[in-house]
Structure 1
């Protein structure tokens, strides 16, 4: 009997997480830690920060001004970014939708640990036992950083509601002026629907052994409020109570639905 196509493709072994200063990070990130901490930022670097998923690679070779990406919490960021007074663009998404999105990403990506069942992942996320550390500390840390550093703090929910206004904020922040037609073009090409069909954005070329998009697409829904399709009533009550405690020491507020 002939082998069916793809049968001989061995599934990748899921990596384990390592730990730096109490924050769970990919083992590969931990192994490179001294190199990451010694990274030399340039004054005109723009660092895009989100919770979570990616790293700072090939940055050294990029021409200035460089656009870099990180998922590191503020306390783990290489010091040179603060010393060089770089600009930071932070995009924050509400915790409930973030949890759901992260759960589905971990289900399909073999580059991260298996998330287990939804119930198990719900507990792990609330306890901050996920890659890049607790969501709560991450958003609060960057929210606080905006008081002393050049941080533009954006909300995913506002981008969904009024993308044009939010893109204008970014352009103003980086000191670029755009005419109306160019702005409209950017709004169109950065919409979730268009990006979902763009192979550069939807990871269509990534092998199934690395990302199995039959389990969940890399770009899944991009909506606000999808958490309602996952949280049970009891989970929602527990989450809200816990959330209230963890977010009591910040002025930061999120929209859980539009």
Structure 2
């Protein structure tokens, strides 16, 4: 299965070689995606996706640590189902693939693990009908921006930027792959107290991964032992994930992981850029539950 998945990623990357910046992107419902990984037909077919009540679903903004959390969930899935000893040949990203993907996913054993980058209002209706639980992941906006900048310039399927100073205004205005970070945050802040939603941050997972994994397992109703938690944490180190990603995803895996640290933004942001994002954060998330959870003063102030 890993070979098939690597082949899909390689094909999507190679297909971008001769495309213009405009051709590299496909937009749908206010969100932007790499056109060589998905299509308008796929995004329209996504509404037909049949979510299950026992799916292990992650929601997150691009480069917020979703690949890390997907690996954590796969580890948890393996503890409750031996059918997860092999990787699925499907893209782990719900929006990526061909329009027939959602029919094939019906045959995958439970619990299925996948990630979506969509707004709450754009999720398939079956998510709400079947009360699928959603683990919503956020990372502080400054580190998210820096990580997305490097990823964008590594992945041929996305338009590149000549410098950080060129990328920053594009990020702030939402003219990057995915959607505007703060629009995404405002949207999900409205729902983080919903019964089937759990909010977790990249930073708290970095601070104490074992506690985070326990919280995640409890949220999804998965019975795991202390030994299971220890094993997942051991396999969740940055270096281990980077090596595993290369084996499972090929060239794309190499593009996913760079530093994995907290606070790298201090090496990029100018004082003017700091002030602009600080003001934007206060405008959009000041006084909100998500804003407090992100600990902006701790992680985004020098």
TM-score range, shorter chain: 0.7 to 0.9
More deviation in 154-163 or 48-57? 48-57
Which of 1 and 2 has higher RCO (CA within 8 Å, sep 6+)?
2
CA distance in 2, matches of 1:43, 1:179: 23
Deviation at 1:149, TM superposition (A): 4.0
Deviation at 1:66, TM superposition (A): 1.6
Q: Does 1:243 align with 2:281?
A: yes
Q: Deviations over 1:190-231 (max 9, x none)?
A: 12132123245784x22xxxx595xxx531111111000111
The structure having more radius of gyration, on CA atoms, is 1
Corresponding position of 1:167: 213
Corresponding position of 2:295: 255
Q: Does 1:34 align with 2:10?
A: no
Is the 8 Å Cα contact of residues 85 and 149 (structure 1) preserved in structure 2? Answer: no
- Structure 1, unmatched stretches of 5+, are 1-8
Specify which of 3, 6, 12 is matched with residue 17 of structure 2. Answer: 12
CA distance in 2, matches of 1:172, 1:75: 26
- Structure 2, unmatched stretches of 5+, are 1-13, 64-91
Q: How has the CA–CA distance of structure 1 residues 21 and 167 changed in structure 2, closer, same or farther, with 3 Å as cutoff?
A: same
TM-score with structure 2 length normalisation?
0.72
Is the 8 Å Cα contact of residues 143 and 153 (structure 1) preserved in structure 2? Answer: no
Corresponding position of 1:148: 194
More deviation in 193-202 or 55-64? 193-202
Corresponding position of 1:22: 30
Structural RMSD (CA): 2.5
Q: How has the CA–CA distance of structure 1 residues 116 and 212 changed in structure 2, closer, same or farther, with 3 Å as cutoff?
A: farther
Is the 8 Å Cα contact of residues 124 and 130 (structure 1) preserved in structure 2? Answer: yes
Is the 8 Å Cα contact of residues 85 and 150 (structure 1) preserved in structure 2? Answer: yes
Corresponding position of 1:46: 56
CA distance in 2, matches of 1:248, 1:127: 19
- The 4+ residue runs of structure 1 with deviation greater than 6 A are none
CA distance in 2, matches of 1:10, 1:247: 39
Q: Deviations over 1:137-172 (max 9, x none)?
A: 223322322323401111000000010100000111
Q: How has the CA–CA distance of structure 1 residues 223 and 77 changed in structure 2, closer, same or farther, with 3 Å as cutoff?
A: same
Deviation at 1:126, TM superposition (A): 0.6
Structure that is richer in helix per residue: 2
Is the 8 Å Cα contact of residues 48 and 88 (structure 1) preserved in structure 2? Answer: yes
